[in-house]
Amino acid sequence: MLSDFTELALRKAGPEWAPTSSRRDEPGSPYRDALAFAPASQREHSVAVAITILFAISVAWISGIASQGAIAVAAFLPVCSAITVLSLVLTSTLLFSQYRATHHPSLIFLTLGYVRTGIFLLAFILADPLMAAPVRILGGGSQSGPWLYWFSHFAFIVCVGEFVVTERFCARKTRSPRLSLWWIPAFSIVTVLATLVLTFSYESILPKLVVDGRSTAVMQHFFSPLLIVFSIVVLVFLGMTTRFKTVVALWLGVILFATLGELLAQWLAQGRPFTYGWYYAQTEWVVATTAFYVALQARITNILAAMSSVNDVLRQQSLTDHLTGLLNKGGFNERLTVAARQCHLLQQPIAVIGIDVDDFKAYNDTFGHPAGDIALAAVGAVLRTSFFRPDDICGRIGGEEFAIVLKNTDHSGALTVAERVRRAVERLNMRHAKGTSHPMVTISIGIALDRAENTVAVADLMGRADAALYKSKARGRNCITIAPMPPSPERES
């Protein structure tokens, strides 16, 4: 289960990122927020529908010229097959990471299915004569390549079927089933090895699929239709079971539909290489195998962007006083340190204005703490609107204590801002408690400055502003006191 931070990021990315509403959402489910099981957004459904329509139109168009010969490009099949193998490996890596995070059985079936498909295609690259390799690295005969190509497609459709069956089984469980799944990779290894041994060592006993560059009758009338019908059945079963609601189900549906189009084009081209149907089939197989990887990567990119945005929000919240909207003490000290360093490097003066609400304890005792919070929020609003430069810093550093930092500001500039703040608080006309120094809520202010040539010491600057503030208190409150300027380095020398 993801952390609260990650869940906040998912929700910030949009309503479609919220966890799915199914039994896998129950507390304790280890995969309710999994990337692969996140509900597909409306945008993703629209893209998937558009791609499916495009595939359907392209298959209808290519069907009329599928068997016509085209220019022979010897490198086309090796390049397409290499891209397909790479995309299968990358997708299986993402799926396995999702399985590690969720321990959901259907993902391990899907992961191993992608691995099996990739192994068969890699063996096909090393065995098929069309790869233009001077030596068949794995040996085999003329039928090894066609059989491996057929097995790669069959393995992919089977893995989707395994995913659907497992999903249907898990959907009936109130919690994620904790199954012992060690036998799945073991079975996959045995299956892959047996298939490779069969296609390379016992190729002579297998039915011939391709002769003289053309599909045989057994391929054209049995194996190709079998794959086409099998892919249709699995696609329908996938839709009935998942309704294409999740990311993984939606894109598996798109991939199966594209695979169906590829098989139809290959069937219409009668397996002849370098025909329009053959070129289309190889291209669509590449698209089909890479689509899921692209979709998952797009999801990951959006989640990372959402997390980065949430991280910025949370950091800002950690440095902000929730009552006044100003910086809190930690945020103020952080910004003050940076400002002091900048002013020292740029040889600019810096001013700190310390502010304290007069007789605030009496205000709280008379009107209550909720009213006191309202008064502090009003003072905070005054401070936010009493200076206008982007580099000015203002924070609430204590209960009723505030401070302002003004970079590149001299005595007159600091005094102007301080007087503006003092008068703005007076104009609030908030009635004060009886027996206080003033009938309305007021503030006392202390100002401390450092010359441009001085090395700015933050603690000393704040200390002098605080001392000046207490002098304002001693003078009767609702006034401004400027702390003495420290001696310049020239005078000290």
- For 404-436, what is each residue's pLDDT tens digit? 999 999 889 999 999 999 999 999 999 999 888
**Which one has a higher pLDDT value, 263 or 11?**
263
Model confidence pLDDT, tens digit, residues 68-110: 988 988 888 888 888 999 999 999 998 888 888 777 888 888 8
Tell me whether residue 400 is one of the annotated catalytic residues.
yes
Residue 85's alpha-carbon distances to 78, 156, 177, in angstroms, are 10, 12, 32
Q: Where in the chain is the domain with CATH 1.20.1070?
A: 4-314
Architecture in CATH for domain 329-486: 2-Layer Sandwich (3.30)
For the chain, percent of residues with pLDDT exceeding 70: 85
- 469, pLDDT greater than 80: yes
- Looking at 7, 334, 400, 492, which residue is catalytic? 400
The reported pLDDT for the residue numbered 4 is 43
* Sign of the torsion formed by the C-alpha atoms of 332, 333, 337 and 343: positive
- 490, pLDDT greater than 80: no
Q: Where in the chain is the domain with CATH 3.30.70.270?
A: 329-486
Model confidence pLDDT, tens digit, residues 313-329: 777 778 889 899 899 99
The reported pLDDT for the residue numbered 199 is 87
Enumerate long-range contacts of 14-17, CB under 8 Å, 24 or more apart.
14/41, 16/40, 16/41, 16/42, 16/43, 16/44, 17/41, 17/303, 17/306
- 8, pLDDT greater than 50: no
Most confident of 6-10, 39-43, 258-262, 290-294: 258-262
Q: 353: pLDDT confidence band, cut at 50, 70 and 90? A: very high
SS3 at position 320: strand
Sheet strands side by side (includes 393-396): 393-396, 401-407, 350-357, 443-450, 480-482
* Pairwise CA distance, residues 446 & 450, whole Å: 14
The reported pLDDT for the residue numbered 27 is 41
| Minimum mean pLDDT range among 33-47, 205-219, 338-352, 370-384 | 33-47
- 398, pLDDT greater than 70: yes
Mean pLDDT of the chain: 83
Computed on alpha carbons and rounded to an integer, the radius of gyration of the chain in Å comes to 36
The reported pLDDT for the residue numbered 291 is 82
H/E stretch holding 350 reads strand 350-357
Residues 6+ apart with CB under 8 A from 277: 62, 63, 65, 66, 67, 265, 266, 268, 269
Query: Which residue matches tokens 């304790």?
Result: 28
The reported pLDDT for the residue numbered 129 is 62
- 482, pLDDT greater than 90: yes
Residues 6+ apart with CB under 8 A from 262: 280, 281, 282, 284, 285, 288
For residues 138-167, give the mean pLDDT. 85
The reported pLDDT for the residue numbered 480 is 95
Report yes or no: 237 and 164 within 8 Å, Cβ to Cβ: yes
pTM for the predicted model, two decimal places = 0.64
For residues 197-210, give the mean pLDDT. 86
The reported pLDDT for the residue numbered 185 is 81
Residue 350, strand partner residues: 407, 450
The reported pLDDT for the residue numbered 453 is 63
Q: 171: pLDDT confidence band, cut at 50, 70 and 90? A: low
The reported pLDDT for the residue numbered 292 is 82
- 211, pLDDT greater than 90: no
CA 160 to chain centre: 26
Q: Where are the beta strands (DSSP E) in 361-460?
A: 393-396, 401-407, 443-450
SS3 at position 387: coil
For the chain, percent of residues with pLDDT exceeding 90: 38
Q: 373: pLDDT confidence band, cut at 50, 70 and 90? A: very high
H-only helix segments in 63-104: 76-102
The reported pLDDT for the residue numbered 166 is 84
The reported pLDDT for the residue numbered 173 is 55
Class of domain 4-314: mainly alpha
| Minimum mean pLDDT range among 36-45, 81-90, 229-238, 478-487 | 36-45
Residue 396, strand partner residues: 402
- Helices 411-426 and 369-385, axial angle in degrees (round to 10): 140
